[in-house]
Structure 1
Amino acid sequence: MDTKLSPDDGYTAVIGLGYVGLPLAAALAAAGSRVVGIDQDPAVRAAVEAGTPLFREPGLPELLAEVSDRFTVTDKLPDARPGAVIVCVGTPPEPGTNQADLTHLRSAVGMFAHALDAHCPVVIRSTVPVGTCREVVLPELKAHQDAPLLAFCPERTIQGRALAEIRSLPQIIGGLDQRAAAAASRLLAPVVPERITVSSLETAEMIKLVCNSHTDLIYGFGNEVALIAEALGLDASEVIASANLRYPRPDIARPGFVGGSCLVKDPYMLLDAARRAGHEATLVASARALNERVPEHAVQQVLTALAARGADLADATVIVCGIAYKGRPETDDVRGSAATSVQNLLANRVARLLGHDFVVADTRVSAMGFEPSELADGLSKADAVLLLSDHPGYALPDVAGLLASSPIVFDMWGMWEDALADTAGIEYMRLGRG
């Protein structure tokens, strides 16, 4: 695609066209901006140019079709200077350390730092450890200009509602100085009506990590209640629902898997920032550790039940229902999915490990180590079922009739409790049910 633009185009460069960058780029173009989307992956570029992004986000294909005359896709910065740059590249956790890998961020900044003028705002939207903008990004920019307009403006949306939330959620803006914050605010104003300017880059960086760590903590307490209820032979659903009923304090979260690309890494970034400052954030660490144990707990429940029956695990067929990290709102995002942990625990231990998801493509299911299966066929063959997702499609009132004669069922979210809890021949378990 031609990337030779006129110097008068005043385009906004959005670097990284994934779950964060592409919805924002499309929203900016829809608001009238000339946008150039930059991504190093040729498959990503081809899919965006065709209007069929590689991930599911309701309304995004239609919006891309509407803005095709204002949205260009390429693999590098055009020759003409950009009017603004927004960085939305991934910062995945490094295996074994859970520290953010800033390789893509450094590469992106190296791509444009030399090409900016003094009036070009640079917005970092990728989630980063506290101090990254000042310690990593700023030195690269200052090598080429004295007073860069650097701001950190965190992404705060969830997959499945990204386009609506970009336009409705308040946007946090932390600038290197007041000039930088004001420039970032002007850039995002056509898309985000409410903007909250905070005192520094570091404050904005921490806000993103605190929000997701708080979510992790809230869900973690629900899971703690579930594990305590199991140990006591009680039903966590009854405990939580009754405790919440018409009671004016914050609701206790229902138990279930806590994952996704943000919640499996952001608490570690906050922990690292606290540790470097001399504080051990034990509450954050405990919540994350507890939530990470939930998939292992589910697998152990199933293995224990199979062993109690005298079943030979090497001959067993297990189906995992729900490969994406969540079911509501639906997404095909598998980053931080419970299915990954379950696959690691069961791979090469069972005869067949089937996988089903209503949204995740079979090719992705296969790449994650599962044998793709139609739901009804897999349920009819399974010795054990792990229902990991609360996707509405799994609300099957006739699920008992689809199952093999006497399977073991672990239901993470209680989707099948009414249908299976008292069904003869089916050993039904759910998180939090003792």
Structure 2
Amino acid sequence: MPKTVGVVGMGYVGLTLTAAMAAKGYRVHGVDANPEVVQALSRGRVHVYEPGVAEVFADHLGTGVTVGHTLPDGEPLDAVILCVSTPVDLASGAPRLGNLAEAAACAGQRLVVVRSTVPIGTSRAVVLPRLDEGARLVMAPERTIQGQALRELVELPQVIGGLDEASLREGVELFEGLADRIVPVSSLEAAEMVKLANNCHTDLIYAYGNELALVAEQHRLDPLEVIRAANLDYPRPDLARPGYVGGGCLTKDPYLMRASATTSLVGHARALNERLPSHVAGRLVGLIRETFGETRGRRLSVLGWAYKGWPATDDMRGTPIADMMPVFTAAGLTVLGHDPLVTDEVIREYGGQPVSLDKAFTEADAMLIVNDHPDYRGMEIGETSIRVLFDSWRVLDTDRHAGVLAGRGIRYAGIGYTR
């Protein structure tokens, strides 16, 4: 018999889980504290960009999916899954777990699943004391990537840790109808650490690629040449390309790990990745000054305002442009903005003037490509007023473009590299 579940929190994690479960035949009651989110979803308007989610809502809203401000009173639920936000304080890096505590207090006497990413020990210390006596408790971390969530929710192994054997058994039964493979672990804490281990490892890998780029920059070397040569047919783990590290998870989870235990490596990696956007902005300002003699009054086109370009997203959490804009403003630059998915309204909120892709090339003195959206990978350089092009992901660094850039006297640079 299909399970009936409540999903508390209709942000990215809760929304994609709701869609994936509905597509698999679960009956899902979505809950969110934001009236605008509830109203939009109740009408089938999905507020988060993720391929496939809107289609699932169109097919199942009112039958397999309902959305409201509270859990339903009249219909028994097999489980309540907590997907609320667990942000960190921007000044101190300390986790703020009030949303989770409040959601737990409303979960009642049933199977309760912690899906939110938390410091190790949170499910036991924060959630458990707020549950009704006799409730079962499991931790089942979300580990998907934006742009592929509906597929990965089914295909990725689902890790589950339980408060006790009865909790673990019910947690496994709940997710067996969704995920192809279940991985039980020995405790709530082990499951909590799995999520942090995955994301902090990713942050560390990217930080090392960025550190290599900064070393190459000091020696006037091409970091991509070094990394390609180092990786070629070498049997050890590949070195990562340099690039910005944003998004809701990688910018937050290292702080949750640091709140769990004393660490050093994780903190150093996060600090390096956080410095990169302002470092790049400073380098670009320097190149514009070298080219034009001054920066004030010059126009800079910025392509790609979402934190990443592929898989494509409109997510602005951890976007590099947030740390770059103060540098550009101090230099007196006027910033034009283009993104295939981010709305003009959001670009304006961050201080940019929205333009078309054509005008980004013809109405600016310099250009910064922040992310690697497919639209940017395949674009041609036609008529342009650009004289400095900073291509963060080197999407235009091909034989096809090299001659065009050189022939038009465009100075080309990337992270750790200047041609």
- Shorter-chain TM-score bucket reads over 0.9
| Alignment partners' CA distance in 2, 1:290 and 1:169 | 30
Q: 2:393 pairs with 398, 404, 413, which one?
A: 413
| Alignment partners' CA distance in 1, 2:383 and 2:100 | 48
| Alignment partners' CA distance in 1, 2:368 and 2:3 | 52
Q: 1:83 pairs with 75, 78, 84, which one?
A: 78
Paired positions, count: 412
RMSD: 1.9
1:319–1:386 Cα contact (<8 Å) kept = yes
Question: CA 1:215–1:402 in structure 2 vs 1: closer, same or farther (change >3 Å)?
Answer: farther
1:98 paired with 2:85, answer: no
1:433 paired with 2:407, answer: no
Task: Give 2:60's aligned residue.
Answer: 67
| Alignment partners' CA distance in 2, 1:134 and 1:283 | 27
2:2–2:25 Cα contact (<8 Å) kept = no
Question: CA 1:423–1:397 in structure 2 vs 1: closer, same or farther (change >3 Å)?
Answer: farther
Question: CA 1:10–1:271 in structure 2 vs 1: closer, same or farther (change >3 Å)?
Answer: closer
1:7-406 matches, within 5 Å, as 11-68=4-61, 69-80=63-74, 81-112=76-107, 116-117=108-109, 120-141=110-131, 144-145=132-133, 147-275=134-262, 281-347=263-329, 349-399=331-381, 401-404=382-385, 406=386
| Alignment partners' CA distance in 2, 1:432 and 1:388 | 14
Question: CA 1:365–1:310 in structure 2 vs 1: closer, same or farther (change >3 Å)?
Answer: closer
| Alignment partners' CA distance in 1, 2:105 and 2:349 | 32
Deviation at 1:149? 0.7
Deviates more, 1:11-20 or 1:97-106: 97-106
| Alignment partners' CA distance in 1, 2:276 and 2:152 | 29
Identity, % of aligned positions: 42
SS in 1 for 2:123: helix
Question: CA 1:391–1:184 in structure 2 vs 1: closer, same or farther (change >3 Å)?
Answer: same
SS in 2 for 1:35: strand
1:317–1:350 Cα contact (<8 Å) kept = no
Cα offsets for 1:65-111 (capped at 9, x unmatched): 22221211101122234321001111122121222222221221223
Deviates more, 1:240-249 or 1:385-394: 240-249
2:288–2:388 Cα contact (<8 Å) kept = yes
| Alignment partners' CA distance in 1, 2:375 and 2:292 | 33
Cα offsets for 1:218-252 (capped at 9, x unmatched): 11111111111111111111111121112222111
Question: CA 1:95–1:63 in structure 2 vs 1: closer, same or farther (change >3 Å)?
Answer: same
SS in 1 for 2:137: strand
1:318–1:350 Cα contact (<8 Å) kept = no
Question: CA 1:368–1:346 in structure 2 vs 1: closer, same or farther (change >3 Å)?
Answer: same
| Alignment partners' CA distance in 1, 2:375 and 2:55 | 24
| Alignment partners' CA distance in 1, 2:329 and 2:70 | 40
Deviation at 1:17? 1.1
| Alignment partners' CA distance in 2, 1:110 and 1:313 | 55
| Alignment partners' CA distance in 2, 1:259 and 1:182 | 36
Task: Give 1:5's aligned residue.
Answer: none
Deviation at 1:130? 1.0
Q: Which amino acid aligns with 2:65?
A: F
| Alignment partners' CA distance in 1, 2:80 and 2:101 | 14
| Alignment partners' CA distance in 2, 1:137 and 1:344 | 40
Q: Which amino acid aligns with 1:385?
A: M
Deviation at 1:10? 6.9
| Alignment partners' CA distance in 1, 2:314 and 2:220 | 35
| Alignment partners' CA distance in 1, 2:252 and 2:143 | 14
SS in 1 for 2:417: coil
Question: CA 1:371–1:107 in structure 2 vs 1: closer, same or farther (change >3 Å)?
Answer: farther
| Alignment partners' CA distance in 2, 1:42 and 1:382 | 41
SS in 2 for 1:398: coil
| Alignment partners' CA distance in 1, 2:297 and 2:326 | 18
2:282–2:327 Cα contact (<8 Å) kept = no
Question: CA 1:199–1:9 in structure 2 vs 1: closer, same or farther (change >3 Å)?
Answer: closer
TM-score normalised per structure 2: 0.94
| Alignment partners' CA distance in 2, 1:354 and 1:329 | 24
Q: Which amino acid aligns with 2:363?
A: K
| Alignment partners' CA distance in 2, 1:328 and 1:402 | 27
Question: CA 1:41–1:348 in structure 2 vs 1: closer, same or farther (change >3 Å)?
Answer: farther
SS in 1 for 2:406: coil
* Residue segments in structure 1 that go unaligned for 5+ positions in a row: 1-7, 276-280
* Residue segments in structure 2 that go unaligned for 5+ positions in a row: none
Q: Which amino acid aligns with 1:258?
A: V
Deviation at 1:381? 1.6
Question: CA 1:424–1:125 in structure 2 vs 1: closer, same or farther (change >3 Å)?
Answer: same
